[in-house]
Structure 1
Amino acid sequence: MSTLAALIFDVDGTLADTERDGHRVAFNLAFQEAGLDWEWSPELYGELLAVTGGKERIRFYLDKYNTGFKRPGDLDEFVAGLHAAKTGFYTKLMAKGAIPLRPGVERLINEAKDAGVRLAIATTTTPENVTALLTYTLGADSIDWFEVIGAGDVVPLKKPAPDIFHYVLDKMNLASEQCVAFEDSYNGMRSAHQARLTTIVTTNGYTADDDFDGAAIVLDQMGEPDASFTVQAGDALGFSHLNLGMVRALHKAEHG
């Protein structure tokens, strides 16, 4: 029997709906600043989300959707510069309070913290983006609530590879069966599943139709006591909103 010791959260799309009105907007602002006529629509961005990582996403866009673009001699430097500018615009958007946390996120984090359950983050986004989101939603002190923040390029392969979860588990000195992961997308789910983690999925507008085979449960949101979630796949075990009790029950159902 394994006791639940830690919760490991993805960031974009899981903690907050940052993709459509956060990262996408920031990318477009970076393109404008660089004098590029690129415009990533909400629909196009949904297709680009098939690739994790901002720099990787720019390259994917050039390879598949903008093949006529004359690439500079040092493409790596060009992409890195665009991505750095995008990160700057994103943090400014967060500072304005443009993107709130999803329903139930703050409550669940506080429940876990108060119960002594350890917290960590495993994400493909940059550390700066994580810091911005946490600071402007939960407060600057919240960064210290998370024992490990696995983000950006700390591992060679991004999701759907399991590397980022292995990194976090190693840093926390925990086995996968002691933890529960929270994801929102196919790539995230595959990453967590390959790391042998019990995974709870909360979908969003971009990921509602993804394949989440292997998830402990798939919900439209975590919900609140006065605003129930909708179960998209799995057994909610009698719960109407995702709290620490439900997380423990789902973990127990998989590990005994």
Structure 2
Amino acid sequence: MLAALLWDVDGTLAETERDGHRVAFNEAFEAHGLPWRWSVERYAELLRVTGGRERLLHDMATQPDAPASPAERERLVTALHAEKNRRYGQIVERGGIALRPGVQRLMREAAAQGVQLAITTTTSRVNLDALLSARLGAAWHTQFAAAVCGEDAPARKPDPQVYLRCLDALQLDADEVLAIEDSPNGLAAACAAGIATLVTRSLNFASHSFEGALAVCDDLDQPAAPSPRLRGARAARIDLALLRQWHGAWWQEPLRA
């Protein structure tokens, strides 16, 4: 039985990456007098590396004017990441980032029908709070049974740590929940934890096939294609009744192997 929906944040709840985090990173570079700028294309490449700090360190290896020593790079990363988070919060407060289509609708359906909501993200808690306070109100946390963030699960996706810790917090088994993700690393993390996963492709992964997902859609209000394993028809949009149906079929005994 489906007992909880586990939501990724960046790219899943909202298109935060291209017009939020990327812009904030570029503003942080400028504030620190650095000539580095991440284009949309470069940032899409960097999203293969999960985590903002990790992305910065990865990119520094390609910058000829980056600090030479690892200690100096770590200090610069700490300063840049803090500045980026501050500017990201300002972007969100200005109303620059909306929740993706169907997100609030599905959350309301789940709450009305006794299905718990949880957050499973490796972004920082300050970034999560900035986004959800702006979009769901200051008491957003009361709508979620658990919120596992980067501080709680330092191993980044595709490591399943964030999902395993969320299952512990909810006291549920993997076959009682469904993950909602947007990226290959997110899908891999959820699958590694044994969790069936709906993928709502974000802009940066619009052409990815996402093999192994329970179903794939462009957003929750758009048609969705279930896994061939489910042998189901394409759906007009994602709602809770459909997810319950697909989730139940996913865990039927003949399909588990």
TM-score in same-fold range (> 0.5): yes
Among residues 228, 239, 246, which one is paired with 2:235 in the alignment?
239
Aligned to 2:82: 84
Aligned to 2:56: 58
Unpaired segments of 5 or more residues in structure 1? none
- Range that drifts further, 153-162 or 65-74: 65-74
Among residues 213, 224, 229, which one is paired with 2:223 in the alignment?
229
- Once the two structures are TM-superposed, the CA of residue 128 in structure 1 deviates from its matched residue by 0.9
8 Å contact kept, 1:219–1:233: no
User: Structure 2: which amino acid aligns with 1:69?
Assistant: A
Aligned to 2:197: 199
TM-score, length of structure 2 as denominator length = 0.92
Among residues 96, 99, 106, which one is paired with 1:98 in the alignment?
96
CA RMSD of aligned residues (A): 1.6
TM-score, length of structure 1 as denominator length = 0.92
Distance in 2 between residues matched to 1:32 and 1:231, nearest whole Å: 43
Measured against aligned partners, the alpha-carbon deviations of 1:58-100 in whole angstroms (never above 9, x if no partner) come to 001112x314423464322221111011001001110111011
Aligned to 1:107: 105
Distance in 1 between residues matched to 2:169 and 2:79, nearest whole Å: 30
Where do 1:32-181 residues align within 5 Å? 32-63=30-61, 65-71=62-68, 73-181=71-179
Distance in 1 between residues matched to 2:224 and 2:211, nearest whole Å: 17
Cα gap change, 1:80/1:181 in structure 2, threshold over 3 Å: closer, same or farther? same
8 Å contact kept, 1:186–1:211: no
Aligned to 2:251: 255
Distance in 1 between residues matched to 2:34 and 2:11, nearest whole Å: 27
- Once the two structures are TM-superposed, the CA of residue 137 in structure 1 deviates from its matched residue by 1.1
- Once the two structures are TM-superposed, the CA of residue 202 in structure 1 deviates from its matched residue by 0.6
Distance in 1 between residues matched to 2:111 and 2:233, nearest whole Å: 23
Q: Is 2:177 the partner of 1:183? A: no
8 Å contact kept, 2:179–2:198: yes
What SS does the aligned partner of 2:156 have? coil
8 Å contact kept, 2:66–2:73: no
% identical equivalent positions: 41
8 Å contact kept, 1:220–1:231: no
Cα gap change, 1:245/1:237 in structure 2, threshold over 3 Å: closer, same or farther? farther
Distance in 2 between residues matched to 1:211 and 1:66, nearest whole Å: 32
Distance in 2 between residues matched to 1:33 and 1:229, nearest whole Å: 43
Distance in 2 between residues matched to 1:6 and 1:168, nearest whole Å: 11
- Range that drifts further, 197-206 or 140-149: 140-149
Measured against aligned partners, the alpha-carbon deviations of 1:95-118 in whole angstroms (never above 9, x if no partner) come to 111011111000001111111111
What SS does the aligned partner of 2:28 have? helix
Distance in 2 between residues matched to 1:6 and 1:238, nearest whole Å: 23
User: Structure 1 runs of 4+ off > 4 angstroms?
Assistant: 232-238
What SS does the aligned partner of 2:205 have? coil
Matched residue count: 249
